[in-house]
Amino acid sequence: MTQHWPIALFAAVVAVIPFVPEIPPFWLVLLDNIGLAALVSMGLVLLTGVGGLTSFGQAAFCGFGAYTTAVLTTHFGLSPWLTLPASLLVSGLLAVILGLVTVRLSGHYLPLGTIAWGLSLYYLFSKLEFLGRNDGITGIPPLSVGSWSMIGAGSIYYVIWGGVLISAILTLNLLDSRTGRAIRALRRGHLAAESFGVQTARAKLLVFIHAAVLAGFSGWLYAHFIRAVNPTPFGAQAGIEYLFIAVVGGAGHVWGAVLGSGIVVVFKEVLKSAPYGEGQLEVIVFGVLLVLLLQIAPEGMWPRLSAFWPFARPQAKPRKASALPARAKADSGEGKLLEVEGAQKRFGGVIAVNDVSFAVASREIVALIGPNGAGKSTTFNLITGVLEATAGRISLFGNPIAGLSPQEIVRRGVARTFQHVKLVPDMTVLENVAIGAHLRGRSGAVSSMLRLDREDEARLLAEAARQIERVGLGAQMHQLAGSLALGQQRIVEIARALCADPVLLLLDEPAAGLRHNEKQALATLIRQLRDEGMSILLVEHDMGFVMNLAERIVVLDFGTKIAEGVPSEIKTNADVIEAYLGVAA
């Protein structure tokens, strides 16, 4: 229960603040503004700090929430409470429309895209007659319960901060789930996530919608707090400020949004009251101080402060759960499991893979070797759907898989590791490995936020723990993946691949970085997997490891197959010796 103490303590502190004797009313106004900013920044923490999608346009979603309730309450006389679902729905639907275009962008085009539609929506708010143009809408009714109207800052305080607390809990629940692991994997690139069944476009859109709904909720509260709306609070400057808040607090931490909001909002008020003369020099001072703050704490203030926190960081821990359904493994003698026939891959005028053909039988270990640049990893990418073959046929159990998505191919039983390790370094080994079982879970975002996914989550974590123990890293299960040595990280990738319950396992240089004893343990594990019904295709440069392990070897050179056979034949093949193994002096 240790992980519940910070939330309970936060709720208790928030609850008693209005009862502090002789607290100035302005402080409550300031706290309300901090809460409103925290809601928007909390969405940005998930979107930018966790998901890796930079947005400068979140203020526009505040505008959608604020203007929706303003129109419905003033023009149609609806109760403010009835307009809350409408404000959230409008923000969410418009996030779907904008997100379908925006999240497909990458690099600097993504933030530029959010700036573009943020500016467009700001000017749209100021030009529409039914929104009051630049003057906006006034006379918005306050929130009320029976005859009690929440007109003052103190009366709406609990609604705002209750919303912050509930939103934080729902967001933390989302991150601590199957869906949350998929979101957290986005920032380190989509290739590894997609290779284990994560629909990255859907995950990006989901986090975009979540951030927009939180901003819309903040806009709804703002409209009934101020009781008037106009375009000014929803412009580009506000969007930049919200991103500043998330970064200052700690862009990867949900509670960092609350801390960052407090720092920035209070900072601005202090600077506004200082005697700088004319010209709004406080803006310059504000910018300089923020830059200095980020120099001191580049990851934000929350990680700095949380280092002194007496409560341990909550960790996903496996508990006893029923086993996940397992895929039927092939028996010996069932014939070819994987067939690659005339595979070719062109990159413009460069032929990376040229008419390559080979097969992997059921319960067989096959090695794919060759010098650097021979096309081995490209062949892996063709098999796993990361790249689409220019020509040729690739089939699994006789069924074509060329052209299928990586998600569909892993669903059919093909899992892989990577030449360059692709783990999420700030997630634990257990969490990284559990990503491999993504397709074996069923819980979605809503059930995760409401904590209805616990049984499904327990089964996924139990499977991940089993595979970690299987590869010999049980002692490192709760360590951050980024803290492990390179060789151990490669073993973590194997455990992640095993979590997908594959019939065909593709290992890309699995022994790189391992010591002799570790290589021997890896070879024993691979043979054990073969004996249990799995087929293995591996790329490896350690010839001693390959020759003692593989039952057949395929040799590539400049994208072309130059030899295929058992290890004893490959050792004496003249073409292989010339191209790769070398001639003894």
The Cα diameter of the chain in Å comes to 97
Q: What percent of the chain has pLDDT over 70?
A: 94
d(CA 501, CA 433): 12
Where residue 60 falls among pLDDT bands split at 50, 70, 90?
very high
Closest Cα partner for 256 from 48, 442, 416, 24? Answer: 48
Q: Mean per-residue pLDDT for 386-396?
A: 92
Whole-number pLDDT of residue 4: 61
d(CA 546, CA 540): 7
Question: Is residue 279 over pLDDT 70?
Answer: no
Closest Cα partner for 448 from 178, 186, 43, 187? Answer: 178
Joined together, the tokens standing for residue 426 give 């700030």
d(CA 265, CA 32): 10
CB 546 within 8 A of CB 369: yes
Collapsed DSSP state (helix, strand, coil) of residue 213: helix
Collapsed DSSP state (helix, strand, coil) of residue 518: helix
Read off the pTM.
0.90
Q: Taking the domains of the chain in order of start, what are their residue ranges?
A: 29-306, 333-413+504-585, 423-501
Q: Mean per-residue pLDDT for 91-96?
A: 96
Distances (CA, A) of 79 to 74, 85, 161, 421, 570: 10, 12, 21, 55, 80
Give the architecture (CATH level 2) of 333-413+504-585: 3-Layer(aba) Sandwich (3.40)
Q: Mean per-residue pLDDT for 166-176?
A: 94
Neighbour count for residue 392 (Cβ, 10 Å): 18
DSSP state of 18: G
d(CA 155, CA 410): 54
Question: What is the signed CA dihedral for 240, 245, 248, 250, rounded to 10 degrees?
Answer: -110
Q: Mean per-residue pLDDT for 498-520?
A: 92
Mean pLDDT of all residues in the chain?
89
Joined together, the tokens standing for residue 105 give 């962008």
529-555 residue pLDDT tens: 999 889 999 999 888 899 999 999 999
Q: Mean per-residue pLDDT for 474-495?
A: 93
DSSP state of 143: P
Specify the length of the chain in residues: 585
d(CA 316, CA 5): 17
Q: Mean per-residue pLDDT for 258-285?
A: 77
Collapsed DSSP state (helix, strand, coil) of residue 73: helix
Neighbouring-strand partners of residue 369: 555
Task: Please classify residue 158 by burial: count the beta carbons closer than 10 Å to its beta carbon, then call 0-12 exposed, 13-18 middle and 19+ buried.
Answer: middle
Tokens 């930018």 belong to which residue? 48
Q: What percent of the chain has pLDDT over 90?
A: 63
Neighbour count for residue 172 (Cβ, 10 Å): 17
Q: Mean per-residue pLDDT for 189-200?
A: 88
Question: Is residue 215 over pLDDT 90?
Answer: yes
**Single-letter amino acid, residue 420:** H
Distances (CA, A) of 14 to 8, 209, 498: 10, 28, 46
Whole-number pLDDT of residue 137: 95
Give the architecture (CATH level 2) of 29-306: Orthogonal Bundle (1.10)
Give exposure, 123-144, as e/b (b: 16+ Cβ within 10 Å). eebbeeeebbeeebbeebbbbe
d(CA 486, CA 474): 17
CB 210 within 8 A of CB 116: no
CB 554 within 8 A of CB 369: yes
Show Cβ contacts of residue 259 under 8 Å, excluding neighbours closer than 6 positions: 249, 250, 300, 301, 302, 305
d(CA 274, CA 267): 11
551-577 residue pLDDT tens: 999 999 889 999 999 999 998 888 888
Q: Mean per-residue pLDDT for 105-114?
A: 85
Same fold, 29-306 and 333-413+504-585: no
Q: How many degrees, rounded to 5, is the angle at CA 515 between CA 510 and CA 516?
A: 100
**Single-letter amino acid, residue 380:** F
